[in-house]
């Protein structure tokens, strides 16, 4: 009998209890937190996919998100392509950018150690930021779409509708990735490579091709995330910078290759941020809480491993 794609475990149960407590205390913080956490999860999933299977530490993750925002802006500004529609071409554009990046650079440092990987991707990040500045300058850009500003009122509360697309799409992409990894030949090969690259090579799996495709697919997902962010995000050369660190934080919190943990962790941290920001005078502490929760979770997980 096959194992279900999703199982309710202690972590998921604790996650539900946390959401219920926040909902009873401050419903608006829960809603905003789920929206924000969905965005964190959506951006963190491709990084976790690369880290879990390819094993590369990509410090340029957020900068390629920025590139996707600029390309989406060009589509909207020059050809009036709606950001939601541009998610399709952006997926393929970032897919092929990721493929090219892997072929000309990433594949040469896969076995070179994490320090060399960090240096390479840091260099790519710096180059990409400078190219963006040369092409588009540092002037902030924005895209206006009427539907992205719609909201509804519940009593005295006004809630934006568009941002619900982030957690919904994060869940959809997570399900699709789980199905891809479990039900397709390439996905099963990717899972095998992620668990034991040498063993996968012995049984005839082309690990380099698997790495190439996984890296490219992850970049395509970055393109989708960029297109959905565009109507609600100012576009400037460092737009995606903060998401690199938060994506790494989510990957560390969830554990290597744990895609479901990215979703749970993203929403948990998003809600924690929203709760802090809802307290008068403590709005600036949201990042402290984000990384504070991360440290606590990592320490708990480390303690569990030591006990086992």
Q: Which pLDDT does position 7 carry in this prediction?
A: 46
φ, ψ (nearest 5 deg) of residue 235: -105, 115
Question: Is residue 3 assigned to a domain?
Answer: no
pTM reported for the whole predicted model: 0.92
Share of the chain above pLDDT 70, in %: 94
Question: Is residue 255 assigned to a domain?
Answer: yes
Question: Is residue 240 assigned to a domain?
Answer: yes
Stretch 150-159: mean pLDDT: 80
Which pLDDT band holds residue 229 (cuts at 50, 70, 90)? very high
5 pLDDT higher than 60: no
d(CA 121, CA 106): 8
Token reading at 165 = 């697309």
Residue 221 near residue 92 (C-beta atoms within 8 A)? no
**CB-neighbour burial class of residue 81 (10 A; exposed 0-12, middle 13-18, buried 19+):** middle
6 pLDDT higher than 90: no
| Better-predicted residue by pLDDT, 261 or 212 | 212
Stretch 29-38: mean pLDDT: 93
Question: Is residue 75 assigned to a domain?
Answer: yes
Question: Is residue 4 assigned to a domain?
Answer: no
Q: Name the residue with tokens 């991707």.
A: 121
Which pLDDT band holds residue 3 (cuts at 50, 70, 90)? very low
Question: What is the tens place of the pLDDT at every residue in 92-118?
Answer: 999 999 999 999 999 999 988 889 999
Per the prediction, the chain carries an average pLDDT of: 90
Q: Which pLDDT does position 306 carry in this prediction?
A: 64
Domain count, the chain: 1
Q: Name the residue with tokens 């790495």.
A: 211
d(CA 186, CA 286): 40
Q: Which pLDDT does position 23 carry in this prediction?
A: 81
Stretch 57-66: mean pLDDT: 95
d(CA 308, CA 304): 6
Question: Is residue 2 assigned to a domain?
Answer: no
Stretch 219-233: mean pLDDT: 97
Residue 163 near residue 232 (C-beta atoms within 8 A)? yes
Residue 237 near residue 133 (C-beta atoms within 8 A)? yes
Question: Is residue 1 assigned to a domain?
Answer: no
**CB-neighbour burial class of residue 219 (10 A; exposed 0-12, middle 13-18, buried 19+):** buried
1 pLDDT higher than 70: no
Q: Which pLDDT does position 252 carry in this prediction?
A: 82
Q: Which pLDDT does position 183 carry in this prediction?
A: 95
Residue 230 near residue 74 (C-beta atoms within 8 A)? no
Could you tell me which residues come within 8 angstroms of residue 81 by beta carbon, excluding any fewer than 6 positions away?
A: 75, 89
d(CA 111, CA 156): 57
Which range of residues forms the domain containing residue 232?
Answer: 10-307
Question: Is residue 121 assigned to a domain?
Answer: yes
163 pLDDT higher than 90: yes
Q: In angstroms, what CA-CA distances link 105 with 57, 127, 204, 205, 206? A: 13, 13, 24, 22, 18
User: The domain that contains 188 carries what CATH number?
Assistant: 1.10.3470
22 pLDDT higher than 70: yes
Token reading at 156 = 């005295």
Which pLDDT band holds residue 210 (cuts at 50, 70, 90)? very high
Residue 44 near residue 173 (C-beta atoms within 8 A)? no
Residue 100 near residue 124 (C-beta atoms within 8 A)? no
């Amino acid at each position: 009998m096959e194992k279900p794609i999703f199982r309710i475990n202690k972590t998921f149960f604790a996650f539900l209890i946390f959401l219920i407590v926040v909902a009873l205390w401050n419903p608006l913080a829960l809603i905003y937190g789920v929206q924000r956490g969905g965005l964190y999860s959506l951006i963190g999933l491709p990084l976790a996919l690369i880290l879990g299977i390819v094993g590369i530490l990509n410090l340029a993750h957020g900068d390629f998100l920025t590139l996707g925002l600029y390309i989406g802006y060009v589509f909207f500004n020059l050809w009036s392509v709606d950001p939601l529609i541009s998610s399709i071409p952006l997926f393929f554009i970032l897919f092929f950018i990721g493929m090219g990046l892997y072929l000309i650079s990433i594949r040469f440092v896969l076995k070179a150690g994490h320090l060399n990987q960090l240096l390479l991707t840091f260099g790519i990040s710096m180059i990409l930021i400078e190219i963006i500045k040369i092409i588009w300058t540092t002037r902030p850009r924005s895209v206006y779409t009427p539907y992205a500003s719609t909201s509804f009122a519940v009593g005295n509360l006004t809630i934006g509708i568009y941002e619900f697309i982030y957690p919904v799409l994060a869940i959809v992409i997570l399900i699709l990735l789980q199905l891809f990894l479990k039900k397709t030949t390439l996905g099963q090969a990717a899972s095998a490579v992620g668990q034991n690259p040498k063993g996968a090579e012995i049984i005839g799996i082309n690990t380099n091709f698997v790495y190439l495709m996984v890296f490219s697919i992850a970049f395509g997902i970055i393109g989708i995330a960029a297109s959905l962010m565009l109507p609600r995000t100012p576009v400037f050369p460092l737009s995606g910078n903060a998401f690199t660190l938060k994506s790494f934080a989510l990957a560390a919190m969830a554990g290597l290759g744990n895609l479901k943990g990215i979703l749970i962790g993203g929403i948990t941290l998003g809600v924690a941020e929203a709760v802090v920001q809802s307290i008068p005078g403590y709005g600036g502490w949201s990042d402290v809480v984000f990384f504070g929760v991360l440290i606590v979770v990592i320490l708990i997980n480390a303690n569990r491993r030591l006990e086992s």
